[in-house]
């Protein structure tokens, strides 16, 4: 349960460099230890092929639900600090290239932010099977803001369109 001063947020996690599972589990542990954040749930990890970018190894992806008293910008800063702790250097990496850890803020309550460096809800969440698949395991009935479909419904549409009826 969240209290009146906290917001439910959803974060996507991904890694395709090094010990991917250890990176994701370490990120979850770091967020569990962070002040102003409470992890409410974590999806199973799902292996996915990279989308876009240069040739690179497969990703391990997941999602987590948390409750936070931090404003959206501060939560984003915390996510980026955790990424850096696990070896991510945004200034030196290739866009859409391999990375030790990627933490994307998908949703921050019902809030909408469209400002430099902070866009929530995440603009491409409804097109990304690699996000929707673990999210469906965690919050299958969550309504997506653009389509108003549930995560489960939208994932089914994308799988059917790709001929993957899993």
CATH number at residue 93: 3.30.70.560
Q: Is residue 87 part of a domain?
A: yes
129 lies in a domain? no
Question: What dihedral angle (degrees, nearest 10) is formed by the CA atoms of 13, 163, 55, 122?
Answer: -30
CB 70 within 8 A of CB 31: no
The answer on pLDDT for 2 being more than 50 is: no
Active-site option among 20, 88, 128, 154: 88
**How far is CA 143 from its chain centroid?**
16
Q: Which is the catalytic residue, given 19, 20, 32, 99?
A: 99
Is 19 among the residues known to form the active site? Answer: no
Q: Does 133 reside within a domain?
A: no
Kindly name the residue from 8, 32, 89, 102 that is annotated as catalytic: 102
Q: Is residue 35 part of a domain?
A: yes
**Residue 128 falls in the annotated catalytic set:** no
Contact present, 120 and 108 (Cβ < 8 Å):
yes
11 C-beta neighbours (distance < 10 Å), count: 27
Residue 71 CA to residue 111 CA, distance in Å, equals 11
Q: Specify whether the backbone of 165 is left (phi greater than 0), alpha (psi in -120 to 50) or beta.
A: alpha
In the residue annotation, 114 being an active-site residue is answered as no
pLDDT in tens, 56-108: 899 999 999 999 999 999 999 999 999 999 988 777 777 777 889 999 999 99
Mean pLDDT, range 21-37, rounded to an integer: 97
Catalytic residue at 92? no
What local confidence, expressed as pLDDT, does residue 94 receive? Answer: 74
Q: How far apart are CA 99 and CA 120, in angstroms?
A: 22
**Residue 143 placed within a domain:** no
Residue 88's pLDDT is: 83
Is residue 152 predicted with pLDDT exceeding 70? yes
**Number of domains observed in the structure of the chain:** 1
Contact yes or no for 61/12 (Cβ under 8 A): yes
Residue 166 forms part of a structural domain? no
Question: Catalytic residue among 3, 32, 33, 104, which?
Answer: 104
Residue 132 lies in a domain: no
In a domain, 73, yes or no: yes
What lies within 8 Å, CB to CB, of 32 at 6+ separation is 38, 39
Segment 28-55 mean pLDDT: 93
Alpha-carbon span 15 to 2, nearest angstrom: 29
Q: How confident is the model at residue 1 (pLDDT cuts 50, 70, 90)?
A: very low
Q: 92 or 154: whose pLDDT is higher?
A: 154
pLDDT digits (tens, 9 = 90+) for 101-131: 999 999 999 999 999 989 999 988 999 999 9
Enclosing domain of residue 117: 7-124
């Amino acid at each position: 349960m969240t209290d009146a001063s906290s917001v439910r947020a959803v974060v996507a996690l991904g890694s395709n460099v090094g010990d991917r599972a250890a990176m994701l589990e370490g990120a979850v542990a770091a967020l569990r230890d962070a002040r102003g954040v409470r992890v409410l749930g974590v999806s199973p990890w799902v292996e996915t092929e990279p989308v876009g970018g240069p040739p690179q190894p497969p990703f391990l992806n997941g999602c987590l639900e948390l409750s936070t008293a931090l404003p959206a910008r501060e939560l984003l800063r915390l996510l980026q600090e955790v990424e850096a702790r696990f070896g991510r250097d945004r200034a030196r990496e290739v866009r859409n290239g391999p990375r030790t850890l990627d933490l994307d803020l998908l949703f921050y309550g019902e809030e909408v932010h469209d400002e430099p460096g902070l866009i929530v809800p995440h603009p491409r969440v409804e097109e990304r099977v690699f996000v929707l698949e673990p999210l469906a395991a965690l919050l299958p009935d969550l309504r997506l803001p653009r389509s108003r479909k549930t995560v489960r419904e939208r994932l089914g549409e994308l799988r059917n369109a790709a001929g993957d009826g899993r």
